[in-house]
Structure 1
Amino acid sequence: MKMLAAQAAALWHARSLCWTLTRREISARYAGTALGVLWAYAQPLLTMAAYYLVFDVVFAMRLGAGAPTHAVGTYLIVGMLPWMAFGDALARGMTSLLEAASVLQKNALPPMLFPVRAVLASSVIYAPLLLLLVLAYAPLHRFAPALIALPALVLLQVVLCMLWGAVLAILAAALRDVAQLVTFALSLGIFLSPVLFPAHLFPETWRWALWLNPMTPWVSSYQGVLLQGAWTPLSHWIGMACWLIGGALLLQVLLVRSRDQLTDWL
């Protein structure tokens, strides 16, 4: 893991530059608009409001027995917001090296600076929204102590997106088809997760397939904490650790293999 550790050390030394680039990316994304960066928060907030209005108010749809809550919109919001955060961060991290090709070819900057910057720019938008869900859902269980696990879950999700965003960024630099494949996988991956339906509704003999989705342990944990005030079970923490360790190991291999070729690929 020497190469990964070296990249992490380089990022730490360039942390001020990383934060400056992150702020510039957020500002540039909404430059020229009247509301500026508020547009970044408007989209997920309006989407969540639409779920609640349509499913809970207009149609008053309900989930059956065994679900962590009966209100469909309330259930969807808890899973959909983390999934949106994951998809946005992963997509931006994946294309970050390609977008920074001209900069990397002219400057001796750590390549991982750009996937990390892209994920941080996304996390600045979504992480506060995930934490603000506490205000909406804590009354369901009277501010259960399990809510203290939420910051850790959000932080680990950011790390997950950094690791796998960097992995995909290197793969996309080597083979442009990766971006198309990942975009397609994200559009289908939501159906192989407990975002749209409780896990117990998935066929029992195929329930293991849900764990092929990296967001399954996170989404299940958010649902348990926010909807029921339940502590995250050990199996979910193990699932998260597997995806984090797997991402770190794969990134280490790719960093070694691409060390002398990455700039040429770009």
Structure 2
Amino acid sequence: MTAIGDLAGSRELLWNLTLRELRGKYKRSALGWTWSLLNPLVTMAIFTVVFGVFLKAEPGAGDPSGLDVFALWLLCALLPWNFVGNTLNGGALALVGNGNLIKKVYFPRETLVGAVTGANLVTLLIELGVLCVAMLIAGNNVLPWIPGILLVTALLTVFATGLALALSVLNVYFRDTQHFLSILLQIWFYASPIVYPATLVSDHVTGAAWTLYEANPFYRFAEAYRNLFYDLRWPSAATLGIVLAWSVGSLLMGWWVFGKLQGRLAEEL
């Protein structure tokens, strides 16, 4: 693919744009990168009280780890979700927010989206590292499962990048895209087993409705992360296969949409 070749030849540009994203993320903030940890921790605390204490959405002990800590169970899916949400929101604005740069000089436009993904990936890796430490303190030895965690994270990155590519270029032509996205992300969040176990749905929903629920790609990503972090076991072959299919499909779709619509970006911006 020519786009991949262009992107590979712009590694230095991609690196510099990613650094720009990272530096600008918490620019002039007193707490700086501490916010990347505080935000998910505060969210975790709120959801733990609401779903874990008041609504009793207990996921049960990890199998076979035996770990039974709702807050840690929640973080296993919440941190990857935050990465997806931030990447899609940032990706949707990647082109419209750099209109002047696009008009002045030619460079692979995909690098702007790649920089957003890269910056959010750095944040995710830091957060997952902290989660690993928390798991070790809780008695869950996640160290042997780090290769699996990195594999799933790589697939999640590919998945999010594909969607971000499509959203970035669609938002240039249809500026309502970014507003629809915020609504869709809220629906997607609660339609995914992030703050509640999937058994709460399977106990009340069957047939086509359950099949549709399982078709949610983040359902499988959440399951894979929890298998590795919380249960201390490999995800099933079916889960890994579905995650791989969603990742490859998302990237191919995103690159196709981007390639089709990027021709008139300078004029539209």
In the alignment, does 2:85 pair up with 1:87? yes
Query: Within 5 A, what are the aligned runs for 1:123-162?
Result: 123-138=121-136, 139-143=138-142, 145-162=144-161
**Is contact 1:115-1:169 (8 Å) kept?**
yes
Q: CA deviation at 1:198?
A: 1.6
The aligned counterpart of 1:204 is: 206
Match of 1:29 among 25, 29, 34: 25
Match of 1:77 among 75, 92, 97: 75
Say if 1:123 and 1:162 are closer, same or farther in 2 by CA, change over 3 A: same
Say if 1:59 and 1:196 are closer, same or farther in 2 by CA, change over 3 A: closer
Gaps of 5+ in 2: none
The aligned counterpart of 2:162 is: 163
- SS of equivalent residue, structure 2 residue 263: coil
TM-score by length of 1: 0.86
Q: In terms of mean alpha carbon deviation, does 69-78 or 215-224 score higher?
A: 69-78
**Is contact 2:59-2:70 (8 Å) kept?**
no
**Is contact 1:225-1:232 (8 Å) kept?**
yes
Match of 2:5 among 4, 9, 14: 9
Say if 1:102 and 1:127 are closer, same or farther in 2 by CA, change over 3 A: same
One-letter amino acid of the counterpart of residue 177, structure 1 = D
- SS of equivalent residue, structure 1 residue 196: coil
One-letter amino acid of the counterpart of residue 181, structure 1 = F
TM-score by length of 2: 0.85
One-letter amino acid of the counterpart of residue 186, structure 1 = L
The aligned counterpart of 1:63 is: 58
Query: Within 5 A, what are the aligned runs for 1:173-212?
Result: 173-202=172-201, 203-205=205-207, 206-212=209-215
Partner Cα distance (2:12, 2:145) in 1: 34
Say if 1:121 and 1:44 are closer, same or farther in 2 by CA, change over 3 A: same
Query: CA RMSD of the aligned region, Å?
Result: 2.6
Say if 1:218 and 1:105 are closer, same or farther in 2 by CA, change over 3 A: same
Q: CA deviation at 1:115?
A: 0.7
- SS of equivalent residue, structure 2 residue 32: coil
One-letter amino acid of the counterpart of residue 25, structure 1 = E
Partner Cα distance (2:127, 2:59) in 1: 28
Partner Cα distance (1:197, 1:31) in 2: 35
Q: Aligned residue pairs: how many?
A: 261
**Is contact 2:59-2:196 (8 Å) kept?**
no
Gaps of 5+ in 1: none
In the alignment, does 2:116 pair up with 1:118? yes
Partner Cα distance (1:24, 1:259) in 2: 23
Q: CA deviation at 1:96?
A: 0.4
Match of 1:255 among 224, 240, 258: 258
Partner Cα distance (1:172, 1:196) in 2: 30
Q: CA deviation at 1:81?
A: 1.5
Q: Deviations over 1:64-119 (max 9, x none)?
A: 66876654333222221211111111110111011011111111011101111111
Paired-residue identity, %: 23
**Is contact 2:59-2:197 (8 Å) kept?**
no
Match of 1:43 among 30, 39, 48: 39
Partner Cα distance (1:12, 1:229) in 2: 36
> Relative contact order: is structure 1 or structure 2 higher (C-alpha 8 Å, sep ≥ 6)?
2
Q: CA deviation at 1:134?
A: 1.9
